[in-house]
Homo-oligomer: A and B are copies of this chain.
Amino acid sequence: RPYYNSSAADKSNGLQRQSVLDPLDSFARRHIGPSSSDAQRMLETLDPPVQSLDAFVKEVLPAKILSTKDIDINGPDFDSRPEGFSETELIARLRKIAKENKVMRSYIGCGYAGTKVPEVIKRNVLEGPGWYTSYTPYQPEISQGRLESLLNFQTVVTDLTALSISNASVLDEPTAAAEAMTLSMNALPVSRQKRPNKTFLVSHLCHPQTIAVLESRADGFGIKIVVADILEDNCRNVKETGEDLIGVLVQYPDTEGGVETFQDLADVVHGQGSTLCVATDLLALTLLKPPGEFGADIAFGNAQRLGVPFGYGGPHAAFFACGDNYKRKIPGRLVGISKDRLGNKAMRLALQTREQHIRREKATSNICTAQALLANMSAFYAVYHGPKGLRAIAQKAVNGARVLEEGVRRLGFSTGTRGKGEDGRTLFETIAIEVGSGRASDIAANAAETSGINLRVLDLGRLGVTIDETVELQDLEDILAIFAKASSVSQPDIPSVNKIASDLSLSVNELAGVPSALKRTSTYLTHPVFNKHHSETELLRYIHHLQSKDLSLTHSMIPLGSCTMKLNATTEMIPVSWPEFSSIHPFVPLDQAKGYKTMIDELERDLAEVTGFDAVSLQPNSGAQGEFAGLRVIRKYQETQPGKKRDICLIPVSAHGTNPASAAMCGMRVVTLKCETGTGNLDMADLKAKCEKYSEELGAIMVTYPSTFGVFEPEVKQVCEIVHAHGGQVYMDGANMNAQIGLCSPGEIGADVCHLNLHKTFCIPHGGGGPGVGPIGVKSHLAPFLPGHPLIKTGGEKSTAPVSGAPWGSASILPISWAYIKMMGGRGLTHATKITLLSANYILSRLKPHYPILYTNAAGRCAHEFILDVRPFKESAGIEAIDVAKRLQDYGFHAPTMSWPVANTLMIEPTESENLAELDRFCDALIEIRQEIKAVERGEQPRQGNVLKMAPHSLGDLLVGEKWERSYGMEKAAYPLPWLKEKKFWPSVTRIDDGE
């Protein structure tokens, strides 16, 4: 018995307990849709039918790769129970873990600032399944709500930066810096891009984690990162870099709180034909001259302080803006305004930067999953506060900082001097205080211990304090008291904050002493949306109104191949909003984050167990980042190996676009492998030939397993062996891990590295396009090279530069995956995999009489997903995949993955969470659509203007305007199957123009 047997494991009716006193709130039966009797019916419906689930599994997976052992999840309080924690036990265990974290007041700054998350946004967006379970808005007709919200986010960014284009979020501020660097490079003439000493100049006053991430990203492109004082000597460093200059990055306000004029710098940089990039802070830009007005070409930063909690580092939305001339090259997704068939305004993703369009081996960015949910939170935060509210928050923070600065000066300290106001006072909310060499750490440690306040240790003799929205009068008093204690003034008179405030004659609305070159005079957020939702009632209605336009998992199955849209269970989501997880700054001393450490250690261990690896890094913020991190680990390892520079990366044609993109970003040369046309499997002869050919240079192969065609390739072990034999490492793309867990594992198959998408297989909700977590698992020989961090120790002994700004990436959503694993246990996880495979094969069997299916294994089975071939209908009826996709909306379903990995086909993945009734509704819909296509084929319906071509149908289409003179009735348009009369989801617009 190679894996948990299912007759015993299936607890789906919840009553097959071991003991009469076992907990009843077991989770697997809630997570898995089909009950055991449903599963039996499904097995019988398969073509050909199968007797048992375990017999079925053997038809799907090649015998050679089946695991030789059960997966074993354990840990404290867990007692090595294969059936997993009950929901109640899970919450109890998590409360214990949470208590190990100490929630303190963190004024560390460094790219993260405290914020007050409006409760109405927290409850209705962050905790609203209508928001968190939706998919990236690639089907715009059923996504107008989040598209509008993301457009609001973009407007916040363009208005505040005064640049013309913004995308809909990137992963974090440091990776945004990396994107800025590569975009700067891309903007240069090709000759300059090829210069061997091409250099990106970075201000020494940028955040340290930004500089570190730039290092890791510069590597593969052969860019030199030079950290320097940029303004020194009239920008001497810039000028001296000459033609080698790719661009310059400065931080505004800088990491120590200074605010300087960069207009002259901009002129110098532009004079050299290069790009000026500015890392900035949206809140500061409500008061200070925006980058777009002093010559910046690119501005980016962390939008976290607009209503997203610390979360021990993430997830938050970073923003990225640029001038018009960078428009075609801006990375990530962009919401644009288009029109629907009726000419109504409608939003959609512009430039369709979907992963399959990533420019593969020519790519300079691989971003795919971003931070949509968090961008929406920040957008609603801005909508709720409006321009005046945001400005008031900024103004209060500066006022607080000025009071503090004056207070510590009176106590005899000097404060940092660069980039001050005309009156010598800070221009924003961070101050640097000189406490005497060697004293900084002690004072900080003392502040934490005795006052529960975290300060930033800038260096041996200086402390940084960042005042944020949460800082009230008492907090200022408490900070001042810390410095009074540290003061050398004997018996210092602790100044009262109120007294200082009145001495300084601070104003609520006007910041004194701002030089005109630094003062914001232009307006922002003048759009009505930011000026009419300032009462809670209005904001609540706006949130719900937008939500009502969007299809999410609260409505129906989202059968997106390669995306694994499964249940995001409430119990998994609960801890995300606990302050013990959400209110921890990423750079607090480790003894304040012991709960995080416990949870992270357990999760790493469990993921290693599940994947068959020896070590795991949770740092990457997305699958694509995981690929980048994993390939970097391989490269660092290969550097230690004998032989030539091993920079060849073999990638099958069928691979996801991020694969070649990531390889290219690591400086690898991509060599494409063929697939067999009949089976879709890797062409072994081609593999062997290329391994031979590049034997000396072979760095790695990237394979997806099961393949992106949805089949368990039988020869995968052999592939690994061949590559290993030629000195290559095997990188497995784990996007399809949901088909493997408990039945086989990358480690056992022979992979050296694999990334997982926790936002697919491990239940982190998709959030409408992020957040994600893309951890990598590695074999022991690679473990030393796992990514590290400049401020907090993590990663292996020979750790490589970080790929994300926070040591553990999007730490605050890790409890979701941790909880999923702990509640499912080894048994539940394995059973879920079997049901996932069964569900896909059930749909396949039901649809096979009606549609051609692309690629199955020798037994006629698919893995967890399969490709429906609609290409023949193009000729027979003029119908394409997009028409079927849009028509599915009329039936209440989100379309499957369209035109990937094969153009003009649909890839269907049901996951284990959908129950049989829903699977059947979905099959019925596709079968009915097949009838509609037949009607066109038979000439009963016209090739244009038929119900498929006109799909989707919005209410505006049916009820408003011209007389109904179509070849089909309204009822056919709206309610093609009877159950739609009870439950119907309406697209809010008609088909949206896909051109630009």
Instruction: Give residues in A with beta carbon < 8 Å to B.
Output: 13-15, 17, 19-21, 23-25, 29-33, 35, 87-88, 116, 118-120, 122-124, 127, 129-130, 388-389, 392-393, 395-396, 399-400, 403, 469-470, 472-473, 476, 497-498, 501, 506-509, 532, 534-538, 540-541, 544-545, 548, 553-556, 567, 569-571, 573-574, 913-915, 917-918, 955-956, 958-961, 970-971, 974-975, 981, 983-984
Contact (Cβ within 8 A) A538 B399: no
Do A476 and B21 touch across chains, with their CB atoms under 8 A apart? yes
Q: A119-B87, A129-B540, A537-B33 are in contact. Are A20 and B507 (CB under 8 A)?
A: yes
Q: Taking the nearest CB of chain B, how far is it from the CB of A958, in angstroms?
A: 6
On whether the beta carbons of B400 and A498 are closer than 8 Å, the reply is: no
Cross-interface CB contact of A971 among B32, B569, B960, B970, cutoff 8 Å:
B960
State A392–B567 Cα separation when bound (angstroms).
Answer: 25
Are B567 and A400 in contact, CB atoms less than 8 angstroms apart? no
Choose from B23, B396, B915, B960 the contact partner of A535 (Cβ within 8 Å). Answer: B915
Chain B residues with CB below 8 A from A548, complex form: 548
> Are A119 and B507 CB-contacts (below 8 A) given A19-B501, A21-B501, A535-B913?
no
Residue from B118, B570, B974, B984 within 8 A of A123 (CB atoms):
B570
Closest B residue to A388 using CB positions: B15
- Are the CB atoms of A124 and B119 closer together than 8 Å? no
* Of the residues B395, B470, B556, contact of A88 by C-beta under 8 Å: B470
| Distance between Cα atoms of A535 and B129 in the complex (Å) | 16
A532 in contact with B24 given A87-B119, A544-B554 (CB within 8 Å): no
Question: In the assembled complex, how far is the CB of residue A971 from the closest CB belonging to chain B, in whole angstroms?
Answer: 5
In the assembled complex, the Cα of A335 lies from the Cα of B920 at a distance in Å of 32
Q: What are 10 residue pairs bridging A and B, where the CB atoms are less than 8 Å apart in the complex?
A: A13-B534, A21-B400, A24-B392, A24-B393, A25-B118, A29-B535, A88-B116, A537-B553, A548-B548, A961-B971
How close is A24's CB to chain B, nearest CB, in angstroms? 6
Chain B residues within 8 Å of A915, by CB: 532, 535, 537-538
Q: Is the CB of B971 within 8 A of A535?
A: no
* Other 19 A-B pairs with CB < 8 A, given A14-B389, A31-B535, A129-B540: A19-B498, A20-B395, A20-B396, A21-B399, A24-B392, A24-B396, A25-B116, A33-B535, A119-B574, A120-B570, A123-B127, A123-B574, A535-B913, A536-B567, A537-B553, A537-B918, A955-B974, A955-B984, A959-B970
In whole angstroms, how far apart are the Cα atoms of A399 and B20 in the complex?
7
Contact indicator A538/B33 (Cβ below 8 Å)? yes
**Cross-chain contact of A545 among B31, B393, B983 (Cβ < 8 A):** B983
A775 to B416, CA, bound (A): 59
For the complex, give the distance between the alpha carbons of A225 and B392 in Å: 65
Looking at the assembled complex, report how far the CB atom of A247 sits from the nearest CB atom of chain B, in whole angstroms: 37
CB-nearest residue of chain B to A15 = B392
Chain B residues near A116: list those with CB within 8 A.
25, 87-88
Q: Which 7 A-B pairs have the closest CB atoms?
A: A119-B570, A544-B554, A30-B536, A120-B570, A20-B506, A119-B571, A20-B399
Q: In the complex, what's the smallest C-beta–C-beta distance from A119 to chain B, in angstroms?
A: 4
Across the two chains, which residue of chain B brings its CB closest to A14?
B389
Residue of B nearest to A535 (CB): B33
Query: Is the beta-carbon distance between B569 and A554 smaller than 8 angstroms?
Result: no
Across-interface contacts of A122 in B (CB, < 8 A): 570
Is the beta-carbon distance between B956 and A21 smaller than 8 angstroms? no
B33 touches A508 (CB 8 A): no
Known: A971-B959, A975-B959. A544 touches B555 (CB 8 A): yes
Checking B35, B392, B544, B573 against A534 with a beta-carbon cut-off of 8 angstroms, the contacting residue is B35
Q: Among A15, A130, A535, which residue has the most Cβ atoms of chain B within 10 A?
A: A535
- Report the bound CA distance from A851 to B788 in whole Å: 73
- Tell me if A129 and B124 are in contact (CB < 8 A): yes
**A708 → B minimal CB distance (Å):** 26
Q: Give every chain B residue within 8 A of A535 (Cβ-Cβ).
A: 29-33, 567, 913, 915
| CB contact under 8 A between A20 and B540, given known A120-B570, A981-B960 | no
Query: CB-nearest residue of chain B relative to A533?
Result: B915
Residue with the highest number of chain B CB atoms closer than 10 Å, among A537, A540, A970, A983: A537
| Cβ-defined contact, B555 with A541, below 8 A | yes
Which residues does chain B contribute within 8 Å of A30, judged by CB atoms?
534-536
Q: Which B-chain residue is minimally distant from A89 (CB atoms)? A: B472
Q: List, in ascending order, chain B residues with CB within 8 A of A544's CB.
A: 129-130, 554-555
Q: How many Å lie between the Cα of A472 and that of B571 in the bound state?
A: 19
Chain B contacts for A21, CB-based, 8 A: 396, 399-400, 403, 472-473, 476, 497-498, 501
CB-nearest residue of chain B to A917: B532
Chain B hits for A396, CB < 8 A: 20-21, 24
Q: How far is the CB of A895 from chain B (nearest CB, A)?
A: 19
User: Quick one: closest B residue to A507, CB to CB?
Assistant: B20
Question: Which residue of B17, B87, B556, B959 is within 8 Å of A974 (Cβ)?
Answer: B959
> Contacts of A574 on B, CB cut-off 8 Å?
119, 123
A93 to chain B, nearest CB (A): 13
Bound together, the chains give a CA A971 to CA B473 distance in angstroms of: 57
Inter-chain contacts of A17 with B (CB < 8 A)? 508
Question: Smallest CB–CB gap between A500 and chain B, Å?
Answer: 10
Q: Contacts of A917 on B, CB cut-off 8 Å?
A: 532, 538
Check if A23 sits within 8 Å of B555, measured CB to CB.
Answer: no
Closest to A974 in B: B959
CA distance A476 to B567 in the complex (A): 33
A918: B residues at CB distance < 8 A: 537-538
Nearest-CB residue, chain B, relative to A545? B983
Verify A553–B540 contact, CB threshold 8 A: yes
What is the chain B residue whose CB lies nearest that of A540? B554
The minimal Cβ–Cβ distance linking A934 to chain B, given in whole angstroms, is 24
Alpha-carbon gap, A491 to B537, bound state (A): 64
Report yes or no: B470 in contact with A388, Cβ–Cβ below 8 A: no
Given A24-B469, A33-B535, CB of A14 within 8 Å of CB of B476: no
**A574 and B122 alpha carbons, distance in the complex (Å):** 11
Identify which of B400, B532, B569, B955 contacts A120 (C-beta below 8 A). Answer: B569
- Distance (Å) between the CB of A437 and the closest chain B CB? 33
Instruction: For A532, list chain B residues within 8 Å (CB).
Output: 915, 917
User: Within 8 Å CB of A129, what residues of B?
Assistant: 123-124, 540, 544
Measured between C-beta atoms, what is the minimum distance from A894 to chain B in Å?
Answer: 14
Cβ-closest chain B residue relative to A86 = B472
A34 to chain B, nearest CB (A): 8
The complex places the Cα of A399 from the Cα of B22 at a distance, in Å, of 11
CB distance from A980 to the nearest CB of B (A): 11
- Residues on the B chain within 8 Å of A35, using CB: 534
B960 adjacent to A537 (CB under 8 Å): no
Q: Which residues of chain B have C-beta atoms less than 8 A from A497's C-beta?
A: 21
Task: Enumerate chain B residues within 8 angstroms of A23, measured Cβ to Cβ.
Answer: 472
Closest to A124 in B: B129
Contact of A388 among B13, B476, B567 (CB under 8 A): B13
CB distance from A661 to the nearest CB of B (A): 33
Q: Determine which residue in A472, A508, A554, A959 has the highest number of CB atoms from chain B within 10 A of its CB, and name it.
A: A959
Chain B residues with Cβ below 8 Å from A14 are 388-389, 392, 534
Give complex CA distance A570, B127 in Å.
Answer: 12
In the complex with contacts A388-B15, A399-B21, A917-B532, A554-B541 CB distance below 8 A = yes
Docked Cα-Cα span, A573 to B536, in Å, equals: 13
Chain B residue at smallest Cβ distance from A32? B535
**Whole-angstrom CA separation of A204 from B537 in the bound complex:** 51
Q: Which residues of B contact A501 (CB under 8 A)?
A: 19-21
- Specify which chain B residues have a CB less than 8 angstroms from the CB of A571 in the assembled complex: 119
Chain B residue contacts of A508, Cβ below 8 A: 15, 17, 20
Q: Are B556 and A541 in contact (CB under 8 A)?
A: yes
A313 to chain B, nearest CB (A): 23
User: Which chain B residues lie closer than 8 Å to A534 at the CB level?
Assistant: 13-14, 29-30, 35
A988 to chain B, nearest CB (A): 9
A402 nearest in chain B by CB position: B20
Chain B neighbourhood of A537, CB < 8 A:
33, 553, 567, 913-915, 918
